[in-house]
């Protein structure tokens, strides 16, 4: 079976060595030695100055919205994983959708200002498939209208834009370290924030509102990552370069051999060092997508309709029509992409797609 992705499992002996440290320390949670070490190593790896590890990639979004959303309207994209919109609704804010760019698939920055009202408090934009939003335009709009900017960078581990980590942009950026991501901690995530005062708020918000046993600062939840998760991250991190290299080889093969007379690839934004996190292709019609998907499934190959459906169409959002997002969501398919995918398997995937277009 070939799935759309496959979790990278590091050598079990290396993971076991990290687990031994946990048993020696007799410390399982509450920011132990391995969590602190992983944060330091990620700062070096990503060339960033701040990171707060958390137990998944959605909690950082919820905390950011709790602190910056203020129960207002949040301008956001309809083309993202459902967690982006669910976090907005969960934090008693209102999602206001803005359609997407037809090639980059990120929020269309030229349509944001028209959606701003007196109730707007923040922009929550997704770097879709690790492809950066138009950061400069969003920053200019936010400054003009005194809005906060939160980036859902769940897919963006290792991505740089204009030579800087993608996590260095926005008031808050978040990332997912879920098992399906190219760097993972099994379950996990992180928040990134350069403003020290806001970083302090994010930190205590993920530890029940306190630092240490007696210093309380405000309301909080349990967003802490465990030592077991950190052990996985410490074991996976040394393999990230090899993981990215292998994924790039698959992407290069797709780029060279797929029939793009009938398919639209993702356009990567200029000045971006991409991370090869996903490989979406957009078909001319949904019928064409379904025919290719069936041919692949019949051969035990399982791509994913990601993202589908467009988030403005789900029951609890009650969003306005977003023609581009709705059209793309109906026609986009993410092809298998992971380190262990062989050339023979990739050739078979390409052949089945091309002959069924």
* Residues 285 and 210 grouped into a single domain: no
Q: Do residue 165 and residue 296 come from a single domain?
A: no
On whether both 231 and 246 belong to a single domain, the answer is no
Q: Are residues 70 and 188 in the same domain?
A: yes
Co-location of 126 and 149 in the same domain: yes
Shared-domain flag, residues 156 and 54: yes
Question: 170 and 114 share a domain?
Answer: yes
Domain boundary among 189, 217, 238: 238
Question: Does 285 lie in the same domain as 221?
Answer: no
Q: Can you give the CATH number for the domain in which 197 is found?
A: 3.40.640.10
Q: Specify whether 222 is located in the same domain as 316.
A: no
My answer on whether 294 and 191 are in the same domain is no
DSSP 76-142: E-SSS-HHHHHHHHHTT-EEEE--B-TTT-SB-GGGSGGG--TTEEEEEEE-GGGPPP-HHHHHHHH
Mind listing the pLDDT tens digit of every residue in the chain (357 residues)? 999 999 999 999 999 999 999 999 999 999 999 999 999 999 999 999 999 999 999 999 999 999 999 999 999 999 999 999 999 999 999 999 999 999 999 999 999 999 999 999 999 999 999 999 999 999 999 999 999 999 999 999 999 999 999 999 999 999 999 999 999 999 999 999 999 999 999 999 999 998 877 888 989 999 999 999 999 999 999 999 999 999 999 999 999 999 999 999 999 999 999 999 999 999 999 999 999 999 999 999 999 999 999 999 999 998 899 999 999 999 999 999 999 999 999 999 999 999 999
**CATH code at 314?**
3.90.1150.10
- The partner residues of 165 in beta bridges, in order of sequence, read 160
Burial (CB < 10 A; 0-12, 13-18, 19+), residue 109, is: buried
Buried b (16+ CB within 10 A) or exposed e, 156-176: bbbbbbeeebbbbbbbbbbbb
Domain boundary among the residues 188, 211, 238 is at 238
Q: Are residues 95 and 222 in the same domain?
A: yes
* Residue ending a domain, choose from 238, 253, 277: 238
Query: Is this prediction's pTM over 0.75?
Result: yes
Residues of the domain holding 305: 239-356
State how many domains the chain has.
Answer: 2
256 shares a domain with 190: no
């Amino acid at each position: 079976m070939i799935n759309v992705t496959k979790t990278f499992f590091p050598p079990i002996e290396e993971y076991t060595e990290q687990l031994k440290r946990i048993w020696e320390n007799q410390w399982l949670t509450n920011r132990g030695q391995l969590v602190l070490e992983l944060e330091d190593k990620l700062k070096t790896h990503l060339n960033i100055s701040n990171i707060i590890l958390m137990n998944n990639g959605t909690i950082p979004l919820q905390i950011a919205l709790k602190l910056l959303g203020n129960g207002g309207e949040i301008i956001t994209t309809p083309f993202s994983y459902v967690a982006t919109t669910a976090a907005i609704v969960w934090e008693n804010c209102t999602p206001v959708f803005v359609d997407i760019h037809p090639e980059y698939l990120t929020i269309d920055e030229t349509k944001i200002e028209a959606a701003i009202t007196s109730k707007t408090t923040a922009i929550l934009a997704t770097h879709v498939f690790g492809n950066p939003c138009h950061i400069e335009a969003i920053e200019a709009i936010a400054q003009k209208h005194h809005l906060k900017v939160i980036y859902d960078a769940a897919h963006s581990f290792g991505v740089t834009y204009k030579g800087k980590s993608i996590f260095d942009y926005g008031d808050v950026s978040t990332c997912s370290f879920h098992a399906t991501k190219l760097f993972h901690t099994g379950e996990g995530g992180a928040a990134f924030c350069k403003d020290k005062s806001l970083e302090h708020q994010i930190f205590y918000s993920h530890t029940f509102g306190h630092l240490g046993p007696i210093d309380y600062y405000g309301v909080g939840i349990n967003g802490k990552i465990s030592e077991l998760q950190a052990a996985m991250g410490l074991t996976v991190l040394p393999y990230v370069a090899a993981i990215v290299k292998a994924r790039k080889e698959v992407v290069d093969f797709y780029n060279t051999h797929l029939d793009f007379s009938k398919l639209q690839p993702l356009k990567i934004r200029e000045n971006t060092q991409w991370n090869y996190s996903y490989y979406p292709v957009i078909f001319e019609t949904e019928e064409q997508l379904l025919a290719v998907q069936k041919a692949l499934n019949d051969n035990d190959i399982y791509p994913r309709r990601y993202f589908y459906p467009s988030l403005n169409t789900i029951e609890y959002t009650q969003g306005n029509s977003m023609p581009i997002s709705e059209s793309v969501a109906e026609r986009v398919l993410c092809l298998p992409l992971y380190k262990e995918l062989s050339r023979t398997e990739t050739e078979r995937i390409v052949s089945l797609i091309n002959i069924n277009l």
